[in-house]
């Protein structure tokens, strides 16, 4: 079966990461996703390094399970074709800077007039209003403004540090896909679509408030500057590599002390309660680190697992793909792409018992499905050829893809 979103049509007008990956998640779950791209270069991500067959790895990973239509929305004929496509759609996703969709004539108000049931997701960096609404919002910018970089510093006095992955973009994509599904569920009750507005800043604030902004939760209480919890993180060096060990409860701490033959730590009043262990966290973790240097990672993992102490190897990226748990869970899948070749990718994370997902389709070439999609909205081959010849639409120079060819 093709997935729980079979039968829904998504028009992806977005580029870069947050919007395209949100649409990709919906496509992996069975929706038909049509990616509209500008003629010439298409989505900027197509131009990034690490390519095979001319396709960039990032593009391949966040634009699979999509069809590509190359069309110029600045021309009247291109916008007219889009409106015909919108009439058949359930969802539109766009992440233009605020004001651009109005200039192009593809705002929610204009498209919902064509299709009142349309769910229209707008993704922005900082929202539609405010002093930063028109500011370019790349991932480091949002990490800095949202407070995430300060959280990574460990204290309000520490040097802010970035998370070394594009977390705001990725999290906004996941939040966007969830919001689209919520709006579709709402449409099932009301019969109406709606405009869903999502900013990267709001996404990160929501994310951080779950745990990291607890001091600011009770509005009537004074807030002191955040103090550094520890100068040591929970990655520990062993005699030959790195592992993580986390002891949250009294039982886990006692099990660690017994497993490592450090019964002296059980008698140390600095570590006798969760509160005292938190107060003396640097001293405690220094003791843990000194102890773990005495054996190899493999030895410690066997010992700690045998004593039910939470632990794991700190895997390097090339080690992750062959880890027994990853293999057993079939988390990674391999497929054959007609241009990029053999691909190794992460499967869609959610697994559905009644509507299992089909293998993802490979990411499209620029304009690969232009002819197919334009035909699906009722344009005849003469009209399609006219759009191709005039430069309003584009398709790869492959005979089997040219309208009217056999």
Domain CATH code at residue 356: 3.40.50.10540
Say if residue 292 is in the same domain as residue 359. Answer: no
Q: Which residues fall within 8 angstroms of residue 54, CB to CB, at 6 or more apart?
A: 339
Domain end, chosen from 313, 338, 357, is at 313
Residue that is last in its domain, among 285, 313, 341:
313
Separation of alpha carbons 234 and 236, rounded Å: 6
- Of 93, 88, 73, 80, the C-alpha closest to 195 is 93
Position 1 pLDDT exceeds 80: no
List 195's β-bridge partners, or say none: 120
Query: Does 147 map to a domain?
Result: yes
State residue 156's pLDDT score.
Answer: 84
Q: Which of these three, 294, 313, 332, is where a domain ends?
A: 313
Q: Within 10 A of 8 (CB to CB), how many other CB atoms are there?
A: 21
Q: How far is CA 405 from CA 70, 370, 398, 402, in A?
A: 19, 14, 10, 6
pLDDT exceeds 70 at position 375: yes
Residue 237 lies in a domain: no
Q: Cα separations (Å) of 176 from 47, 124, 200? A: 25, 11, 10
How far apart are the C-alpha atoms of 23 and 32, rounded to whole Å? 10
Confidence bin at 378 (pLDDT 50/70/90): very high
Asked whether residue 84 is assigned to any structural domain, the reply reads yes
**Rounded to the nearest 5 degrees, what angle is found at the Cα of 116, between the Cα atoms of 114 and 121?**
95
Q: Does 201 share its domain with 264?
A: no
**Which backbone phi and psi does 53 adopt, to 5 degrees?**
65, 25
Q: How far is CA 201 from the centre of its chain?
A: 15
CA 267 to chain centroid: 46
Residue 257 lies in a domain: yes
Q: Are residues 177 and 119 in the same domain?
A: yes
Q: Rounded to whole angstroms, how far apart are CA atoms 355 and 203?
A: 29
Domain match, 161 and 282 both = no
81 occurs within a structural domain: yes
Domain extent for 364: 9-209+349-401
Write out pLDDT tens, residues 226-285.
766 676 789 999 999 999 999 999 999 999 999 999 999 999 999 999 999 989 999 999
CATH of the domain at 292: 3.30.1540.10
153 and 86 in a single domain? The answer is: yes
d(CA 304, CA 238): 13
Task: Clarify whether residues 170 and 294 are in a common domain.
Answer: no
> How many structural domains compose the chain?
2
Q: Please give the model's pTM, rounded to 2 decimal places.
A: 0.93
Give 278-332 pLDDT, tens digit per residue. 899 999 999 999 999 999 999 999 999 999 999 999 999 999 999 999 999 999 9
Looking at the fold, whether 131 and 280 belong to one and the same domain comes out as no
Largest CA-CA distance found in the chain, in angstroms, rounded:
86
Tokens encoding 139? 């991932």
What percent of the chain has a predicted confidence (pLDDT) above 70?
A: 96
Task: Establish if 85 belongs to a structural domain.
Answer: yes
Residues 187 and 286 reside in one and the same domain: no
Q: Within a domain: residue 132? A: yes
- Confidence band (pLDDT; 50, 70, 90) for 405? very low
Beta bridge partners of 9: 32
Averaged pLDDT, 113-133: 97
Alpha helices in 6-52 (DSSP H): 18-28
The answer to whether residue 67 sits within a structural domain is yes
3-state secondary structure of 47: helix
Contact 297, 242 (CB under 8 A): yes
Residues 301 and 360 in one domain: no
63/188 same-domain check: yes
Tens of pLDDT, residues 56-89: 999 999 999 999 999 999 999 999 999 999 999 9
Tell me the average pLDDT of the chain. Answer: 94
**69 and 171 part of one domain:** yes
Distance CA 100, CA 340 (A): 33
* 198 and 247 share one domain: no
């Amino acid at each position: 079966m093709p997935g729980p979103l079979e039968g829904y049509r998504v028009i992806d007008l977005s580029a870069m990461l947050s919007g395209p990956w949100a649409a990709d998640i919906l496509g992996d779950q069975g929706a038909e996703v049509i990616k509209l791209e500008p003629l010439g270069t298409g989505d900027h991500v197509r131009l990034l390094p690490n390519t095979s067959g001319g396709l960039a790895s990032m593009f391949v990973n966040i634009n699979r399970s999509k069809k590509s239509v190359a069309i110029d929305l600045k021309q009247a004929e291109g916008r007219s074709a889009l409106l015909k496509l919108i009439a058949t759609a359930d969802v539109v996703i766009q992440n233009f800077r605020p004001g651009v969709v109005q200039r192009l004539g593809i705002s929610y108000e204009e498209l919902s007039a064509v299709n009142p049931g349309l769910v229209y997701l707008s993704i922005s960096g900082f929202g539609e209003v405010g002093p930063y609404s028109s500011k370019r919002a790349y991932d480091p910018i949002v990490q800095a403004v949202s407070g995430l970089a300060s959280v990574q510093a460990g204290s309000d006095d520490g040097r802010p540090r970035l998370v070394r992955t594009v977390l705001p973009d990725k999290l906004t994509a996941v939040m966007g896909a969830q919001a689209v599904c919520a709006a579709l569920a709402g449409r099932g009750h009301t019969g109406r679509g709606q405009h869903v507005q999502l900013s990267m800043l709001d996404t990160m604030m929501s994310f951080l408030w779950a745990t990291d902004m607890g001091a600011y939760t009770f509005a009537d209480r004074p807030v002191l500057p955040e103090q550094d919890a520890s100068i040591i993180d929970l990655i520990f060096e062993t005699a030959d590599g790195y592992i993580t060990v986390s002891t949250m409860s009294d039982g886990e701490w006692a099990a660690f002390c017994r497993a490592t033959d450090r019964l002296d730590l059980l008698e140390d009043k600095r570590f006798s309660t969760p509160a005292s262990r938190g107060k003396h966290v640097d001293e405690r973790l220094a003791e843990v680190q000194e102890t773990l240097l005495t054996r190899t990672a493999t030895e410690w993992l066997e010992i700690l697992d045998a004593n039910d102490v939470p632990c794991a190897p700190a895997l390097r990226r090339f080690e992750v793909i062959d880890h027994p748990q990853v293999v057993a869970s079939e988390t990674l899948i391999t497929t054959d792409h007609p241009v990029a070749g053999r691909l190794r990718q992460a499967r869609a994370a959610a697994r559905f018992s009644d509507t299992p997902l089909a293998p993802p389709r490979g990411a499209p070439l620029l304009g690969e499905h232009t002819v197919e999609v334009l035909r699906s909205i009722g344009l005849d081959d003469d009209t399609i050829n006219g759009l191709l010849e005039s430069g309003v639409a584009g398709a790869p120079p492959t005979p089997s893809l040219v309208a009217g060819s056999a």
